[in-house]
Structure 1
Amino acid sequence: MILNIIHRFSSKSVVNLCKTFVMKVIITLYLTLFVFLTFAQNGTIKGVVKDEKNNEPLPFTNIIISGTQIGSTSDFEGNFIITGVPVGFVRLQATSVGYNPYLSEEFQVTNSNETYIEIYLTQKTTTLSTVTITNQIFAKNIESPVAMQSIGLSEIEKNPGGNRDISKVVQSFPGVGQTPVQRNDLIVRGGGANENRFFLDGIEFPNLNHFATQGASGGPASIVNADFLREVDFYTGSFQVNHGNAMSSVLNMSLITPNKDKSEKRIVLGASDFGLSFNGPLTEKSGLLFSYRRSYLQFLFQALGLPFLPTYDDYMLKYRMTIGEKNQLSIISIGALDKNRLNLERNETEEQRYILSYLPETDQWNYTFGIVYRHFRENGFDNYIVSRNMFRNKSYKYQDNIEADSLKVQDYSSDEIENKFRFERINFLNSWRLMTGVSAEYAKYYNSTYQKIFLNGNSTLLDYDSSLDFYKFGFFSQISGKILKERLGVTLGFRLDGNTYSDEMLNPLNQISPRLSLSYGLNERWYLNGSIGHYKQLPAYTTLGYSESGVLVNKANDLKYIGVTHYIAGIEFLPNDESKITLEGFYKDYGHYPVSLRDSVSLANKGGDFGVVGDEPVESVGEGRAYGFEVLYRRKIIDKMTMLVTYTFVRSEFTGFDNEYIASAWDARNIVNVLVSRKFKRNWTFGLKWKYSGGSPYTPYDEYTSSLVQAWNIQGRPYLNYSAYNSERLSSFHQLDVRIDKEYFFDKWSLNIYMDVQNFYNFQYEGQDNLIPATDNSGNNIIVNPLDPAELQRYEMKTLENVGGSIVPTLGIIVEF
């Protein structure tokens, strides 16, 4: 991340100096550590085996390390211990009479700490199956047989170019758009940046990234610390009914269980931050996960003379307590604090001055706090989930960065607060799984806006305060199981949503969301899969709460839920237990998408830049379609090799008021990913990732409006020509990332050093050139008609080339003890 920003906003000499320094540090560390003896140590795994439906312990269960003969058997209380486990990533296989075979998610074993894992087995219900159950790493999920990928820990930790950032890791998977700029916008199957939802151990949190774009999902770096991730389920369709308000993707992240007997500490020095984490017991029945990270970008940026100084902090917490044999309590919290300040002393170059002319200073913070209480019954369990999240966003800007009231162009402050309750009841009915539940939510939104804009040839002031609070409610039910001698997996569900924002939204029958998924096993290796579902999403709070003269404009405009119907079909082939090949086609049909009354552009196209999206008058008249197909080849040999090859063809089009379909900002058409990671002897790992994306559409500038002195002084950057919206297209983008890891295991601690090199062959991509005023020898903007009235005066304009791309080396150090 650091060097990408450095390259875009500083001289090549500074970039080369930084690269040289990083390389010297890397070489010195490797040569120093080479003299140490790397011990061939083994680790220890402790855990417990229980029945999934009632949490009762399962004695006499056989547990082995997958691919080895190392194992153990559980005792009368279901506990087990395995010693002599080779260090590295492993999976456990568990078998017990009367239960289906189990293959765990992967996890890492080190010699310095004990690893704790909980295993839940499902009861066998029939012996009539003609489809053989294997130890397939990529297990079938009948509830989401298409458009879902489970991402393991090694794929997160060792992803080339990913820097242990889950927002970047998912970009390697099919259907996810690529972007050469340093942002983590989640663009899935041609949908908008605001169509995604994020969950942490069942608790929804609204912001995945630091310096978030309010009303969307983007930002430069994830707030989720990978230290505690167990597994990530990434849905690009066939959403579960308890995950509402999503149209393009759901990122469901599961955290590890705190260690029971021994604490584990970790220190991480990453590309842009320093982190500390703790994992250990508090009492016999409880444990804690806690992490804190602090960025040091502001010090580096100050030393390198960049025109802005960002800094961020984040934390993540999980407290887990067992209450008797039938109850579990978890407390989850995650949050971030982000600040960006301008470095006004650095204004020597045109690019620096251009950035300073439009970039505001910002303050953001957010947190999510939630409690999950699980009670087991005889044939299932209940989940009670209570949470609160809050997001505060402030920004301000002055013309020429002179802090005077007469020169103020922006002063923005906004709060989004949600208090949520969700109840889920899961029942196991022979071979069927039934989930029913309800949700309730109290939401508050506050907005104070002072914003000068240039609209319809005139300078306009938006000066308003908006306050909004309302209730949301939902009901959902889903049943899944197998029929036809267990060849056909069936999942049928629906969801109803409503809220008190308006009479239209109050009626839940206007927001019914039915869905059906099917998976038919032709034999033990071939499957036909399909899914159809209709999903609803509430527009962003910035849109709900937009106000003029004390009136909620969009409520008066009959704002509606956005709707989309997914049609997905595919075929899946499992060549062996370590591989799978899939082909999936998809079609997404959108309705009631908000369209801006200012520029006639669908909000589906917005959200790819920093700032705020949706705070404008709209009408729910837009339609859209995104369609294409995906090819995936995935192979994984635990602790040896990972291979991922994907190709996505996608078209994405949305309408405005004229009902004409226009290519959206996410219409990349062709997306390719090739990722290979291999572990070698002496704990060396080498990985590479090559990615390609077709060029995205863009809108040319309105050169006349951009040149107007009044217009430019308000915005500090060029205006778009919306009459030619997305009529141009950028050239394609491709990049090779390389990563090398070396792990050292000592008596009581371990060390992982990695070098990650992004854009290995130094591809230079071309963005849309910037349009800026020309300046005289004194650095003042040149006015071509100074004698004309002020509203007609124009700057002389020039083009500033926008070319990016640089070799970006990063050094990372992870110490565990």
Structure 2
Amino acid sequence: MQPKYLLALAGLFLFNLSYGFQSKAKLTGFVTDAKTGESIPGATVRLVDTSLGNITNDAGFYTIENITPATYSVQVSFVGYETVIKYGVVIRSGGIPDVNFQLKEAISELDEVVVIANPFEKIEETPLSIQKLSREEIATYPGGNNDIAKVVQSLPGVGGSVGGFRNDVIIRGGAPNENVYYLDGIEIPNINHFATQGSAGGPVGLLNVSFFEGVTLSTSAFGAQYDNVLSGVLQFDQRRGNARDFKTNIRVGSSETALTFEGPLFKKENEDSNTSFIVSVRRSYLQLLFELIGLPILPDYWDYQYKLTHKLDDYNELLITGVGSIDDFRVNELDEFDEEQQATQDQVPIIKQQTNTIGISWKNRFKDGTGFMTTTLSNNRLENDFRQFTDNINQTGLFLQNVSVESETKLRYNYTKFLDQWTISGGLSLQNVNYENETIDLVNNFQYDGDINFFRYGFFGQANKRLWDDRLSLSLGVRFDANTFTNDGDNLLETFSPRISAAYTFDAQRKWSVNASLGRYFKIPPYTILGFTNNAGAFANQNAEYIRSDHAVLGLEYLVTPSARFTLEGFYKKYDNYPVSITDSVSLANLGGDFSVLGNEPIASVGLGRTLGVEFLYQKKFTKNYYLIAAYTFYKSEFTAFDPDVYLPSSWDSRHLLSLTGGYQFGNNWEISGRMRYLGRTPFAPVDREATLANYPAIIRDFSQIGAERLDTFNQIDLRIDKKWNYANWTLNVFLEIQNVLGSDIPEEPEFGLARDADGMVLSPRGLVQIMGIDNSSVLPSIGIVIDF
């Protein structure tokens, strides 16, 4: 069939869709007490600026019917509680999840005063440097491509690796492995496919955004329950599966297809089930596209995710959740010679990875409503087969290998008690660590088999209190961590980790507030470091120390309207005991942003570091048909190696980070959104051309010159256009996403390869040449389809 007829049919199809019957929709959900989890019957739920609403029943459940599909603000109120408004709630005819609310008790001297909760929710132990995203904000983020790691990179103070095919999360100048990730309170080691072992990152996220109730990012102040964190905590809250009906979500994007299915188990007629599930599987077809257009790499992956919730009774609940991936990164034989693609084919690793995390949690709420306790048992496992060859096509000439299995089994216990205006919590964690490693590194003359098995344990306590008619909140916390492997690891006093935070609201209208935090945090070095064995068969890094980071943050917040705010924050981070590579004389804080393995080498815990900066944010929730986030961060990040007096810029010292994100909704369910990101000139370590030629295709860098050269500034604008059609019991969403709309040149480090003739044959004698004229300013359009029913 000729193209013109295809276009005509497509136009006719869209015409019919746009003029089809638009069904009415309904909104459901639960309203509970934010502290106790108790249901709140009789709460009023209404759609703002409409006459639609309802009252919650005895179970705290509400239903609002006959809603015209659109985006609304939803308000919930009840006597004695702060009124809560959720902005930007998309209501559609098919597959909409429950929209749940947690209300906090209102503390006011005047009973008739209506207190509106701050929509930019704070946590007592983290009153500043915190961002929350709803599931709708995540799913429709421009330039995010349904990838949570890319979405997070647009938040204030968060950047990514520049110019690379990666998803690193760089928070306020800290290394990628300084962050921790939690899925419903269960720690997961990484959120990306093809992860860099010992660090983080990877080209594609492995979490399905269809699961999320919301995401919370803390970037400078952390509760004492979190261990092993230096820069950021990302908490992913997954929604429960529907306990009444079966629902399906199908998403087809530019690189993958995802299927999500949810519903009740063991359901009795006309009753909500006590057991519900939600499960998804995603499959990449990126490798097929890359092979079709002749690119030198073929990234292939699967991932899966699930959550099972079972209500034992009114006070006890079990939750089972898990996530995993199967990754295969290989090369594609080129049809014709291209010097850039040939260099990529030469230098990329061959990677096969499998990851799996599974956990079970039991939450027990006390019958008198004075607290709860949570017990979690989980296991995460990474199998990594990483190899580099002199001939990647035939996989011959092995010169670097890391075949390893990394496993953690964790038991966590948390007890929380409410005493008047105090909230007291405490707990412990116990982990068994097993790390097996077979390494061949012919470049640095290391070859060993390592196997370590040891325990990590920790204790924490936290106390929060609200004072002066809820105008002042205080939080004090302390944590201790230890392990049975490192030489001084069982000394709890060495990891004494205190933290304090406070927030004060100046005026009765609660528009102006000042927030501050001060804390000390520790992280055990990666297992790739601890498991390194020298050629004599000894664990060379058993004397490694916990990395220490001291944080001080001060911020001011002003609520312009109930849905908009300004914030201004200053922050300072000071590092100690950072691992320094004995081989390359560089702080490992500068590494981890490539597709290698971080830490398989001897180190010394002598590095220092410091990061300081200021951050400005304006944020407006979705009202009057648009939302807007504008954030600017200026920071300076630098680290030492063996000389404590010589600070060099870190690999993440971009100095300037600017992001603008916004969206506008037109009539008839059309929406346009955009994102602009600007990153200052980022330092890099130049290639040591002589050493690289001697070891090619291994790339050797001169880390003594880090900061002597910087990349050009990074600037990219992404657009997204969405159109939704609502029909009886199902919804269709078609979106067009255009990345790098202006065709900006993406800065990249100079690339080198062997000198070759026009046919791709290596010239003799061998020489190393810089590859010139690479054009990476492409505009990248993609189309996606989302179906809910």
- Place the TM-score, normalised by the shorter chain, in its bin: over 0.9
Counterpart check, 1:426 vs 2:429: no
* Distance in 2 separating the partners of 1:140 and 1:133: 16
- CA distance 1:328–1:28, shift in 2 (3 Å): farther
Counterpart check, 1:767 vs 2:748: yes
Q: Which amino acid letter does the alignment assign opposite residue 389 of structure 1? A: N
Aligned to 1:98: 80
Aligned to 1:581: 566
Q: Is the 8 A contact 1:435 1:477 kept in 2?
A: yes
Counterpart check, 1:370 vs 2:352: no
Matches within 5 A, 1:104-123: 104=86, 107-113=89-95, 115-123=97-105
Q: Which amino acid letter does the alignment assign opposite residue 436 of structure 2? A: Y
Correspondent of 2:176 among 193, 199, 218: 193
- CA distance 1:766–1:231, shift in 2 (3 Å): closer
Counterpart check, 1:271 vs 2:254: yes
Aligned to 2:679: 693
Q: Is the 8 A contact 2:541 2:602 kept in 1?
A: no
Aligned to 1:530: 516
- CA distance 1:594–1:29, shift in 2 (3 Å): farther
Q: Which amino acid letter does the alignment assign opposite residue 358 of structure 1? A: Q
* Distance in 2 separating the partners of 1:352 and 1:568: 45
Correspondent of 2:391 among 400, 406, 411: 400
Correspondent of 1:157 among 118, 136, 139: 139
Q: Is the 8 A contact 1:145 1:529 kept in 2?
A: yes
Q: Is the 8 A contact 1:264 1:279 kept in 2?
A: yes
Q: Which amino acid letter does the alignment assign opposite residue 348 of structure 2? A: L
- CA distance 1:687–1:195, shift in 2 (3 Å): same
Q: CA deviation at 1:324?
A: 1.1
Correspondent of 2:762 among 781, 792, 816: 781
Moved more, 376-385 or 499-508: 499-508
Moved more, 349-358 or 111-120: 111-120
Correspondent of 1:435 among 425, 435, 441: 425
Instruction: Encode CA deviations 1:684-727: one digit per residue, 9 max, x unaligned.
Output: 0001111111110112222222333xx22xxx154222332231
* Distance in 1 separating the partners of 2:10 and 2:567: 42
Correspondent of 1:705 among 682, 691, 694: 691
Moved more, 483-492 or 384-393: 483-492
**What SS does the aligned partner of 1:300 have?**
helix
- CA distance 1:282–1:343, shift in 2 (3 Å): same
Aligned to 1:816: 788
Counterpart check, 1:444 vs 2:444: no
* Distance in 2 separating the partners of 1:312 and 1:803: 28
Counterpart check, 1:678 vs 2:668: no
Matches within 5 A, 1:319-330: 319-330=308-319
Q: Is the 8 A contact 1:89 1:108 kept in 2?
A: yes
* Distance in 1 separating the partners of 2:5 and 2:158: 36
Q: CA deviation at 1:84?
A: 2.2
Correspondent of 2:613 among 611, 614, 628: 628
Q: Is the 8 A contact 2:363 2:372 kept in 1?
A: yes
Correspondent of 2:212 among 229, 245, 260: 229
Amino-acid identity (%): 34
Q: Which amino acid letter does the alignment assign opposite residue 415 of structure 2? A: R
Q: CA deviation at 1:411?
A: 3.1
Q: Is the 8 A contact 1:433 1:479 kept in 2?
A: yes
- CA distance 1:126–1:779, shift in 2 (3 Å): closer
**What SS does the aligned partner of 1:614 have?**
coil
Aligned to 1:566: 551
Q: Is the 8 A contact 1:130 1:487 kept in 2?
A: no
- CA distance 1:382–1:85, shift in 2 (3 Å): farther
Aligned to 1:790: none
Aligned to 1:48: 30
Q: Which amino acid letter does the alignment assign opposite residue 471 of structure 2? A: R
Aligned to 1:521: 505
Correspondent of 1:386 among 368, 374, 377: 377
Q: Which amino acid letter does the alignment assign opposite residue 538 of structure 1? A: I
Counterpart check, 1:512 vs 2:496: yes
Instruction: Encode CA deviations 1:511-547: one digit per residue, 9 max, x unaligned.
Output: 1111111111111210111111111011111011111
- CA distance 1:731–1:778, shift in 2 (3 Å): closer
Q: CA deviation at 1:54?
A: 4.1
Aligned to 1:653: 638
- CA distance 1:26–1:472, shift in 2 (3 Å): farther
Q: Which amino acid letter does the alignment assign opposite residue 579 of structure 1? A: A
Instruction: Encode CA deviations 1:545-592: one digit per residue, 9 max, x unaligned.
Output: 111136444434x20000100110011000101101000000000000
**What SS does the aligned partner of 2:668 have?**
helix
* Distance in 2 separating the partners of 1:764 and 1:28: 37
- CA distance 1:705–1:52, shift in 2 (3 Å): closer
- When normalised by structure 1's length, the TM-score is 0.91
* Distance in 2 separating the partners of 1:31 and 1:686: 23
* Distance in 1 separating the partners of 2:336 and 2:738: 30
**What SS does the aligned partner of 1:765 have?**
coil
Q: Is the 8 A contact 1:157 1:164 kept in 2?
A: yes
* Distance in 2 separating the partners of 1:24 and 1:174: 47
* Distance in 2 separating the partners of 1:365 and 1:29: 41
**What SS does the aligned partner of 2:295 have?**
coil
* Distance in 1 separating the partners of 2:107 and 2:118: 20
* Distance in 2 separating the partners of 1:443 and 1:64: 50
* Distance in 2 separating the partners of 1:25 and 1:649: 51
Counterpart check, 1:61 vs 2:33: no
Q: CA deviation at 1:89?
A: 4.4
Q: Is the 8 A contact 1:65 1:92 kept in 2?
A: yes
* Distance in 1 separating the partners of 2:395 and 2:167: 35
Q: CA deviation at 1:90?
A: 4.4
Aligned to 1:220: 203
Q: Structure 2, unaligned stretches of length 5 or more? A: 267-272
* Distance in 2 separating the partners of 1:658 and 1:681: 62
- CA distance 1:84–1:718, shift in 2 (3 Å): same
Moved more, 485-494 or 115-124: 115-124
* Distance in 2 separating the partners of 1:316 and 1:777: 48
Q: Is the 8 A contact 1:286 1:322 kept in 2?
A: yes
Aligned to 2:269: none
Correspondent of 2:52 among 54, 67, 70: 70
- CA distance 1:466–1:754, shift in 2 (3 Å): same
Instruction: Encode CA deviations 1:414-463: one digit per residue, 9 max, x unaligned.
Output: 1110000111111111122221111111110010112211x5xxxx3x22
Aligned to 2:121: 139
Q: CA deviation at 1:103?
A: 3.8
Aligned to 2:152: 170
Q: Is the 8 A contact 2:337 2:758 kept in 1?
A: no
> How many corresponding residue pairs?
774
- CA distance 1:402–1:482, shift in 2 (3 Å): closer
- CA distance 1:271–1:467, shift in 2 (3 Å): same
* Distance in 1 separating the partners of 2:574 and 2:85: 37
Q: CA deviation at 1:85?
A: 3.0
**What SS does the aligned partner of 2:340 have?**
helix
**What SS does the aligned partner of 2:192 have?**
coil
Aligned to 1:728: 709
- CA distance 1:191–1:28, shift in 2 (3 Å): farther
**What SS does the aligned partner of 2:488 have?**
helix
Q: Is the 8 A contact 2:33 2:104 kept in 1?
A: yes
* Distance in 2 separating the partners of 1:813 and 1:473: 46
- CA distance 1:529–1:319, shift in 2 (3 Å): same
* Distance in 1 separating the partners of 2:34 and 2:5: 52
Q: Which amino acid letter does the alignment assign opposite residue 339 of structure 1? A: D
* Distance in 1 separating the partners of 2:113 and 2:566: 18
Aligned to 2:14: 33
Instruction: Encode CA deviations 1:295-352: one digit per residue, 9 max, x unaligned.
Output: 0112212211112211100111010111111111111000111101211244511112
Q: Is the 8 A contact 2:534 2:540 kept in 1?
A: no
**What SS does the aligned partner of 1:35 have?**
helix
Aligned to 2:237: 254
Q: Structure 1, unaligned stretches of length 5 or more? A: 1-20, 785-793
**What SS does the aligned partner of 1:700 have?**
coil
* Distance in 1 separating the partners of 2:613 and 2:11: 46
* Distance in 1 separating the partners of 2:398 and 2:121: 57
Instruction: Encode CA deviations 1:219-270: one digit per residue, 9 max, x unaligned.
Output: 1111110101111101101111112111111110111122121111011101
